[in-house]
Chains A and B, each alone.
Chain A
Amino acid sequence: MSVERVRTAVGHVVLMLGVLVSLFPFYWMVVMASNTTPDIFSYPPKLVIGSHLFENMGKVLDNIDFFGSMLLTLVASLGVTVLVLFFDSLAAFAFAKYQFPGRNLLFGILLATFMIPSQLALVPQFVTLAEFGWIGSLKALIIPGAANAFGIFWMRQYAKGAIPDELISAAKVDGAGFFRQYLTVGLPVLRPGLAFLGIFTFINVWNDYLWPLIVMTDPNRLTLQVALDQLNGIYGTDYSMVMAGALMSVIPLIGVFLIGARSFIADLAAGAMKF
């Protein structure tokens, strides 16, 4: 066998091992979710999928308002995503394609905000929202989440490269104002970039844990991550049921992700290179 072939084979072996490691926890989650708790606690542990999956899932539905939490999470994620896509693409369009006084200064401020960790704002934002009366409501999840500089940064990079100046000049000649230019020239071209940003934002809000943990003080209205954590906190002794809950919370997002995975990953790679 040629050296090349060996190298390729080794490469594939390495990659397959990696895939196994990446995907094994999911398999294990299914194994635990489909057996009973005493099975999990037994030694040697059961390594194959059992038959109790639906039973455990049923228990999850009995114990927490799973679909209610999922709906809440969906609304929050969509809300933030829509706001981010709209505000960020608009701002990025302006930053990328137009000269206006103070542009560099404003953009510099935007870059500076990257340095600020979100945790710095945890306590004061909580206090501020308490004063607004927003604690425990969806508003607290959606509105502060829309102030995200990353989206503008990303879209600006994208807009710079993707939108030709000529198109804008042409639109200007046709008498279009800024917002018309945005709608007719900017948005269509930006669509792939928006797709990436949208999925990225959606996933991040869906998986967010710390902020909802703090802000969703009503135990009957929790996002999915916090609800799952609650499930573990209350019924943590019923391991298999908690794992079923974990499985149920993971599947929707992976499903959504798999649909757009290819382009998402490609865009991520392309974007990282521009840094």
Chain B
Amino acid sequence: MAVTSKTAPVAVTATAIPAEKPPNKYRQALPQYLAVSPFFILFAVFGAFPVLFSIWISFHSWDGIGPMTWVGLEQYRYLLSDATFWQTIGNTLIIWVLSTVPMLLLALVIANALHNATRLRTFYRIAYFIPNVTSVVAITLVFGSIFSNNFGLLNAFLQSIGVGQVEWLTSPWGIKIAIATIVTWRWVGYNAIIYLAGLQAISADVYEAAKVDGASPRQTFWRITVPMMRPVILFTAVTSTIGGLQIFTESRVLFGDTNNIGGPGDAGLTIVSYLYQSAFIKNQFGYGAAIGWALFILIVLFSIINWRLIGGTDDERLTRRAARRVERRIAAQNAKREAADVR
């Protein structure tokens, strides 16, 4: 880079202006620090501190009222050998699969249909989204009555077509299906709208080209639409995983009037339900804290699994990364060329 001709004029003026101490960059940024501080202060008190405190609590046996008793890793040892805990993991996962798979598939189907529909678009979108803003308590009560063993609409319908009653709310699978149905009903619209946005982002040229090549609708869907939607599908999969692992309200409202909040045989007891039950019903705060940590580990685990499964193969990712690197190099070169031009 040329030096002499450039710095000469600067050097001339440099002697005229007295040299200043470079301003402290931290003090300069004070307004920004102030701006972000409310969140971080609140987070420190109500986010970070509780997390650390939770570790502390989990090393004790405590009913929340009396004194805390140090038990070391006993709560975790109990956790690992606790059949109920593993059952809740099983329950939560089964409910998650039962709800997520149909939900995402239905969402894709509906998004596709919405994409092709030209009329009533706003009406459909609003109608599909309303389940998501409805109070979970209220809607669980409604579904609870629909699924009721003796007085449910569903059983009445099944009986009228000759299939006979199903013990929705007392059998293990019935309970899980009922909860999964509530969750699915709630989130299909939400995910459909997100998928719709994803579909609309795919340019029409790609489809034109496919049509010219003679691709059938099914081929177009699986070979073009789905791969291009991958980031969006990943997003919904990760969010529904995290959400699915945290299910609580549905099972609690369905069975809440006893202290057996998971229903008969704990078939509807989810991880968070177990946490709530241990801490606030059985008054074992230490154990509740330990369960919270188990939940955290599970969420991290499943997010990673989701990411790997749906994030694409390594080849694709490497290609994308390489492409980005090339782009950046080109951009840097361009910037340099422009800067040189100016001089």
Contact flag A100-B29 (CB < 8 Å), given A32-B145, A91-B35, A243-B141 = yes
A61 at the B interface (CB under 8 A)? no
- A90 and chain B: residue at smallest CB distance: B35
Alpha-carbon distance A2/B115, docked complex (angstroms)? 19
Q: Give the chain A neighbours of B156 by CB distance below 8 A.
A: 43-45
Q: Decide if B289 touches A123 in the complex (CB within 8 Å).
A: yes
B70 at the A interface (CB under 8 A)? no
B185 at the A interface (CB under 8 A)? yes
Q: Decide if A125 touches B38 in the complex (CB within 8 Å).
A: no
Q: Decide if A152 touches B39 in the complex (CB within 8 Å).
A: yes
- A268 and chain B: residue at smallest CB distance: B193
- A86 and chain B: residue at smallest CB distance: B38
Q: Decide if B35 touches A178 in the complex (CB within 8 Å).
A: yes
Q: Decide if B160 touches A44 in the complex (CB within 8 Å).
A: yes
Q: Give the chain A neighbours of B249 by CB distance below 8 A.
A: 209-210
Alpha-carbon distance A59/B298, docked complex (angstroms)? 44
B residues 23-41 near A (Cβ < 8 Å) are: 25-26, 28-29, 31-33, 35-36, 38-40
- B65 and chain A: residue at smallest CB distance: A130
Alpha-carbon distance A115/B239, docked complex (angstroms)? 11
Q: Give the chain B neighbours of A119 by CB distance below 8 A.
A: 246, 248, 272, 275, 292, 295
Question: Within the complex, what minimum Cβ distance (angstroms) separates B8 from chain A?
Answer: 29
A201 at the B interface (CB under 8 A)? no
A233 at the B interface (CB under 8 A)? yes
Q: Decide if A116 touches B295 in the complex (CB within 8 Å).
A: no
Alpha-carbon distance A21/B114, docked complex (angstroms)? 16
Question: Which of B14-22, B122-130, B323-331 is the contact stretch?
Answer: B122-130
Per-position binary interface string of chain A over residues 228-256, scored 1 when its CB falls under 8 Å from any chain B CB and 0 otherwise:
11001100100100110011011001100
Question: Within the complex, what minimum Cβ distance (angstroms) separates A29 from chain B?
Answer: 5
Contact flag A262-B54 (CB < 8 Å), given A12-B117, A91-B38 = no
Q: Give the chain A neighbours of B136 by CB distance below 8 A.
A: 207, 209, 225
Q: Give the chain B neighbours of A121 by CB distance below 8 A.
A: 46-47, 50-51, 54, 292
Question: Which of B81-89, B166-174, B196-204, B312-320 is the contact stretch?
Answer: B196-204
Question: Within the complex, what minimum Cβ distance (angstroms) separates B245 from chain A?
Answer: 8
Q: Decide if A178 touches B32 in the complex (CB within 8 Å).
A: yes
B303 at the A interface (CB under 8 A)? yes
A106 at the B interface (CB under 8 A)? yes
- B291 and chain A: residue at smallest CB distance: A119
A257 at the B interface (CB under 8 A)? yes
Alpha-carbon distance A119/B246, docked complex (angstroms)? 8
Q: Decide if A93 touches B138 in the complex (CB within 8 Å).
A: no
Q: Give the chain A neighbours of B272 by CB distance below 8 A.
A: 119, 210
Q: Give the chain A neighbours of B196 by CB distance below 8 A.
A: 269
Q: Give the chain A neighbours of B275 by CB distance below 8 A.
A: 119, 122-123
- A45 and chain B: residue at smallest CB distance: B156
Q: Give the chain A neighbours of B32 by CB distance below 8 A.
A: 94, 98, 100, 103, 178
Q: Give the chain A neighbours of B25 by CB distance below 8 A.
A: 100-101
Contact flag A239-B145 (CB < 8 Å), given A45-B151, A210-B248 = yes
Alpha-carbon distance A101/B136, docked complex (angstroms)? 43
Q: Work out how many contacts link A and B, with CB atoms closer than 8 A.
A: 282
Q: Give the chain B neighbours of A128 by CB distance below 8 A.
A: 45-46, 49-50, 53
A25 at the B interface (CB under 8 A)? yes
Interface size on A, residues (CB 8 A): 94
Alpha-carbon distance A126/B64, docked complex (angstroms)? 10
- A4 and chain B: residue at smallest CB distance: B116
Alpha-carbon distance A268/B288, docked complex (angstroms)? 35
- A129 and chain B: residue at smallest CB distance: B46
Per-position binary interface string of chain A over residues 66-105, scored 1 when its CB falls under 8 Å from any chain B CB and 0 otherwise:
0000000000000000000001101101110010110100
Question: Within the complex, what minimum Cβ distance (angstroms) separates B299 from chain A?
Answer: 6
Q: Decide if A120 touches B129 in the complex (CB within 8 Å).
A: no
Contact of B127 among A19, A90, A273 (CB under 8 A): A19
Contact flag A236-B279 (CB < 8 Å), given A22-B130, A143-B46, A269-B197 = no
Alpha-carbon distance A202/B252, docked complex (angstroms)? 23
A113 at the B interface (CB under 8 A)? yes
Q: Decide if B142 touches A29 in the complex (CB within 8 Å).
A: yes
Q: Decide if B185 touches A178 in the complex (CB within 8 Å).
A: no
Contact flag A123-B292 (CB < 8 Å), given A243-B142, A249-B138 = yes
Contact flag A257-B299 (CB < 8 Å), given A147-B42, A249-B135 = no
B98 at the A interface (CB under 8 A)? no
- B29 and chain A: residue at smallest CB distance: A100
Q: Decide if A120 touches B110 in the complex (CB within 8 Å).
A: no
Q: Give the chain A neighbours of B133 by CB distance below 8 A.
A: 203, 207, 253-254, 257
Q: Decide if A123 touches B135 in the complex (CB within 8 Å).
A: no
Q: Give the chain B neighbours of A229 by CB distance below 8 A.
A: 137, 253, 256
- B30 and chain A: residue at smallest CB distance: A178
Alpha-carbon distance A180/B53, docked complex (angstroms)? 39
Alpha-carbon distance A214/B110, docked complex (angstroms)? 37
Q: Decide if A253 touches B33 in the complex (CB within 8 Å).
A: no
- A114 and chain B: residue at smallest CB distance: B242
Q: Decide if A214 touches B280 in the complex (CB within 8 Å).
A: yes
Can you list 15 A-B pairs with a CB-CB distance of less than 8 A? A8-B118, A15-B110, A25-B142, A28-B142, A44-B156, A44-B160, A91-B38, A95-B36, A121-B47, A122-B292, A128-B45, A229-B253, A233-B256, A272-B197, A273-B197
Given contacts A206-B135, A272-B235, 20 further A-B contacts (CB under 8 A): A14-B110, A22-B189, A26-B130, A40-B145, A44-B160, A87-B39, A101-B25, A109-B40, A117-B242, A120-B292, A120-B295, A122-B288, A124-B50, A147-B46, A250-B135, A254-B130, A270-B197, A273-B197, A275-B231, A275-B232
Task: Give 9 closest A-B pairs by Cβ, nearest first.
Answer: A178-B31, A269-B197, A100-B29, A147-B42, A246-B138, A124-B50, A124-B53, A121-B50, A94-B35
